[in-house]
Structure 1
């Protein structure tokens, strides 16, 4: 019979090895966010860390460089697991293969169609929305007690003030974003469902003529920048302002009694602004994709998290159950997602310059619009 004491040194050795084996470090999720969202994300991440025994590292990045840094670093595995940003990044992110599809089937019913459409590219959903925004009409209820039904009616009412309306026009880049509701009311769009450029369709040409008319009547001007427009409204120099929820803090502090409503149409169709959607994306190169999706769906996709994030950014929440039914939200829900295709990057400059030429009376509006569209088609290969 073997002496059990003879096995003791071996048992002690094995026990010592087991005790010396280091504990496995918890998995780490890295999230890139800008300064306006990082603090809120840190609070949400604390619950995820507690429940999942995972470390979440929130890295604060400048929004201006976040997308391009992600595109350059993700392929080497040096980028984050999750990023936050606008939906119109999506085309470039998909084109570079740095984001993975996200299964929102369990959450889809909790979001409006415009938010889900914005996070979809070629039939695949790639992001979790959390906020929506668009331009709307801010009306001084003292100077204009009744909401105008059309843009022409708005102009007529606004003639009683120094400026008919505060409609921002960048003197160097034009105003495609702020003018888009009026353009869509003529039945036009920047891109059609088939991704073909439509700026110079019949509706677009009618809008170009209308824009020249607005400039001739001094309703729009290149001297009316965003800051000038907001200042004019706050001073009571105009009863109307076309802006977005980013101006809400200034408006709230101004003491001006105001209401927020969708921009009224100039043409026969509904005025539909560009709707921007903010959301979260999962890196296709994430070392922890299951955890990253868990964090998105089960933590960032909850009502408390959606509410906190939307409030931190000053935007209406995307999730229907926590979204306030105010004018900012109504306007955004009426809108269409800003195109998230890569070709959109090549559109803004020529489009905006054509608007400047029309406003400044340089050339026939239809010819200017067609020339801009031709330049854009040459750039995007259409």
Structure 2
């Protein structure tokens, strides 16, 4: 299993990728933290090996304000790390939970008014938009740059400047209930057979569920058939060339529509309903991210298994989005040096593993891959393997004009509207929105 994690690191270093828009669990256990953190450097940061650096820092503020993602386990993890930081520095951390996707707009209002945070938490694909709007400042990773996965650093880099401290890398994969499935599903043909045999909508029983109207999760079924968001040559995106209505995109859209036509997938499925049914043992397979591992494990125990996304009918591996989530420095912060000190502290070896232990999200650090807590885990190895087939979510401002039109298109597709017509309209809206936004990349 460890070899897949080593492959994952290879992808991180070689492909120049990484993504997370994604969407957004683990019991707090101090003794397990001690075990899982073998080989990490204890208390990296201000108060230990950087005492001389601290002496050149500005006067300590009484408080730093951090906007974190509004998710229970993530809040718990950051809360524990914040307490440690306060103990070591005397600086209070006010961690305010705000949905990641709401933070950008809110920062644009609260920042100029003097009520904003020092630090926000965002997926890397939103960095270009934040830079364009002048809402964040670049950071200096300094000699800590090599501690983070190279492509995680690349993901938070824009126009030669680094704009955040990488915290999390993620993609999604297939979860399945081994009490309902014989063996590991390896192809979509097998998944469709499971759906045919085990779907009984009247009893809320399904063979296969996913957020099929969410482009973040459905992208593999487009890309695996030859679709793409923007043409990409060596990391340079051509935002005038959109491949979401080409022949492969239409084929992917028809595949997704067939799940609804056959009754395998219920209309207007919400994440809460899907997760609840899977945890109740009423769903054989689901597509979701590693942020659900702990919650699923608590419900299903040893019956919970994971695997890379099944092969498409054309024999191709579905290309999932891979992403990075990072701590970003607000342009409006009056405590930029200490804000960066906290960003370094929250993403150091020890605290990255604490975050993993509690929130169940994979660190964006090089050293974490060798930590037994991750390297020997059979569930997380599936995500590591899937990442080798994934591709980076475009981290350009124009990407923000893609989500709503294509998600709306998926909703129409799920309701039986003509796929090609719907995708053509969505792409035109995307182009119009990009032009109206003034985005040039």
2:265 is aligned with 1:226: no
SS at match of 2:283: coil
2:90 is aligned with 1:90: no
Asked if structure 1 preserves the Cα contact closer than 8 Å seen for 2:186 and 2:309, the reply is no
Query: So what's the TM-score if we normalise by structure 2?
Result: 0.70
Assess, with a 3 A threshold, how the Cα gap between structure 1 residues 108 and 260 changes in structure 2: closer, same or farther. Answer: farther
Which of these residues, 124, 127, 149, is aligned with residue 161 of structure 2? 124
Assess, with a 3 A threshold, how the Cα gap between structure 1 residues 226 and 189 changes in structure 2: closer, same or farther. Answer: same
1:187 paired residue number: 226
2:215 is aligned with 1:176: yes
1:62 paired residue number: 98
Asked if structure 2 preserves the Cα contact closer than 8 Å seen for 1:98 and 1:284, the reply is yes
> Whole-Å Cα distance in 2 between the matches of residues 237 and 356 of structure 1?
24
SS at match of 2:191: helix
> Whole-Å Cα distance in 1 between the matches of residues 401 and 251 of structure 2?
23
Deviation of the 1:330 alpha carbon: 4.3
1:128-277 map, 5 Å:
128-162=165-199, 163-169=206-212, 174-193=213-232, 194-196=237-239, 197-222=242-267, 224-255=269-300, 257-266=303-312, 267-277=314-324
Assess, with a 3 A threshold, how the Cα gap between structure 1 residues 45 and 56 changes in structure 2: closer, same or farther. Answer: same
> Whole-Å Cα distance in 1 between the matches of residues 159 and 264 of structure 2?
40
Q: Which one has more relative contact order, counting CA pairs under 8 Å at least 6 apart?
A: 2
1:284 paired residue number: 331
Query: So what's the TM-score if we normalise by structure 1?
Result: 0.79
Deviation of the 1:238 alpha carbon: 3.2
> Whole-Å Cα distance in 2 between the matches of residues 236 and 282 of structure 1?
43
SS at match of 1:191: strand
Deviation of the 1:268 alpha carbon: 4.3
> Whole-Å Cα distance in 2 between the matches of residues 76 and 254 of structure 1?
45
> Whole-Å Cα distance in 2 between the matches of residues 107 and 151 of structure 1?
42
Superposed CA RMSD in Å reads 3.0
Deviation of the 1:351 alpha carbon: 0.9
Structure 1: tracts of 5 or more residues without a match: 1-23
Which of these residues, 30, 37, 40, is aligned with residue 80 of structure 2? 40
Deviation of the 1:128 alpha carbon: 0.9
> Whole-Å Cα distance in 2 between the matches of residues 205 and 355 of structure 1?
11
Asked if structure 1 preserves the Cα contact closer than 8 Å seen for 2:67 and 2:117, the reply is no
Return the index of the structure with the highest Cα Rg: 1
In the TM superposition, what whole-angstrom CA distance separates every residue of 1:99-128 from its partner, at most 9, and x where no partner exists? 222233634444345533432234432111
Structure 2: tracts of 5 or more residues without a match: 1-57, 200-205
